[in-house]
Amino acid sequence: MLSSLPFVPPEASSIAGDVDALFFFLVAVSAFFAVLIGVLLVYFAVRYRRRSNQDRPHPIEGALGLELLWTIIPFGLSMVMFFWSANVYTRIERPPDDAMQVFVVGKQWMWKVQHMEGVREINALHVPLGRAVKLTMTSEDVIHSFYVPAFRIKQDVLPGRYTTAWFKATKIGKYHLFCAEYCGTLHSGMIGTVTVMEPSDYEAWLSGGKGSGQSLASAGEQLFQQLGCVTCHRNDGQGRGPSLVQLPGKTVKLEDGRTVVADEAYLRESILNSQAKIVAGYKPIMPTFKGLVSEEGLMQLIAYIKTLGGPEGAAAASASAAASTGGH
């Protein structure tokens, strides 16, 4: 059972301690100067009050030492805040290359989770202890925000694009999952749990999980066949559309002379709006699949394309191979 939410959430991820240290430092500095200014304000009001009608203010010529003091100290503190926060932000925004991939779809008013091995969850996420987990997220309707206080992560989940977040759980247990962006009348009910398990327990849970019996990439390959994509996107490069082998992470030259990186956002756009970015040397003959493929289907297709090779596809290929051989 989940306990009631404490005033200060537990620290249950590798980044939580750093986020808390920075936060409390900022609070301490703000509180110190708020008290200092308040005390000096009262002191000066009393000390230099006008005592009679004959009192006249005296001109102040200036004090170089004092001016340097109140310039250098705030500048130094602001630089400490900047470089400290930049370091923490960089760590939060850069998931490790070997991070476990999980796909998340926000929908009024639930979280739908897909593991690479094919297991699906609603308002729940199971992860192994001590392993980095990368979340690739999108929304089916409005803006949501994936928020796990114990992990100190909060990331907006937007319709029409992918956002990412990552964490490495450091404590076994169940932790609250919220939507931190007002998304409609039942926003307060869009909650769930993140369960952190021992790696062996997680593998056992994954093996007995409720899935389709196939990995995410395998489901994407099946959908790829059903939609007829294989007739144009041939692996030998002889089709009417460009080959998708080793495409993820590759720089693609477009018909108008621009270049783009074939990341998840590009793949998603190419499926839903195929005329947006035409690859150089090919005609704009691909139909749009907008309204024909769900967000879960898009993630399956992207997972499959990643197994075909490329810088972003190595981890997905390994996961797909493990799933297909019963490695989970």
The whole-number pLDDT of residue 312 equals 44
For residues 1 and 90, membership in a common domain is answered with yes
The whole-number pLDDT of residue 4 equals 58
Q: Could you say which of 145, 178, 211 is where a domain stops? A: 211
Regions of the chain with pLDDT less than 70: 1-6, 209-213, 309-328
The whole-number pLDDT of residue 228 equals 85
Residues 6+ apart with CB under 8 A from 242: 233, 252, 279, 281, 282
Cα separation of 92 and 32, whole Å?
A: 28
Q: Could you say which of 211, 227, 242 is where a domain stops? A: 211
The whole-number pLDDT of residue 325 equals 37
Q: What is the pLDDT of residues 156-209, one digit of tens each?
A: 999 988 999 999 999 999 999 999 999 999 999 999 999 999 999 999 898 876
The whole-number pLDDT of residue 58 equals 75
The whole-number pLDDT of residue 1 equals 43
For residues 207 and 261, membership in a common domain is answered with no
Cα separation of 172 and 178, whole Å?
A: 19
The whole-number pLDDT of residue 318 equals 44
Q: What is the pLDDT of residues 225-238, one digit of tens each?
A: 888 888 888 877 77
For residues 314 and 165, membership in a common domain is answered with no
Q: How many other CB atoms sit within 10 Å of the CB of residue 21?
A: 12
For residues 71 and 96, membership in a common domain is answered with yes
Q: How many other CB atoms sit within 10 Å of the CB of residue 69?
A: 11
For residues 261 and 144, membership in a common domain is answered with no
CATH number at residue 19: 2.60.40.420
For residues 247 and 157, membership in a common domain is answered with no
For residues 278 and 299, membership in a common domain is answered with yes
Task: Provide the residue range defining the domain that includes 294.
Answer: 216-324
For residues 89 and 123, membership in a common domain is answered with yes
Domain assignment present for residue 270? The answer is yes
Task: Classify strands 100-107 and 132-139 as parallel, antiparallel or unpaired.
Answer: parallel
For residues 250 and 167, membership in a common domain is answered with no
Give how many domains the chain has, as a whole number: 2
CB of 106 closer than 8 Å to CB of 144: yes
Domain assignment present for residue 52? The answer is no
CATH number at residue 288: 1.10.760.10
Q: pTM score > 0.95 for this model?
A: no
Domain assignment present for residue 275? The answer is yes
The whole-number pLDDT of residue 217 equals 83
Strand, helix or coil for residue 128 = strand
The whole-number pLDDT of residue 41 equals 95
Q: Could you say which of 211, 239, 258 is where a domain stops? A: 211
For residues 150 and 250, membership in a common domain is answered with no
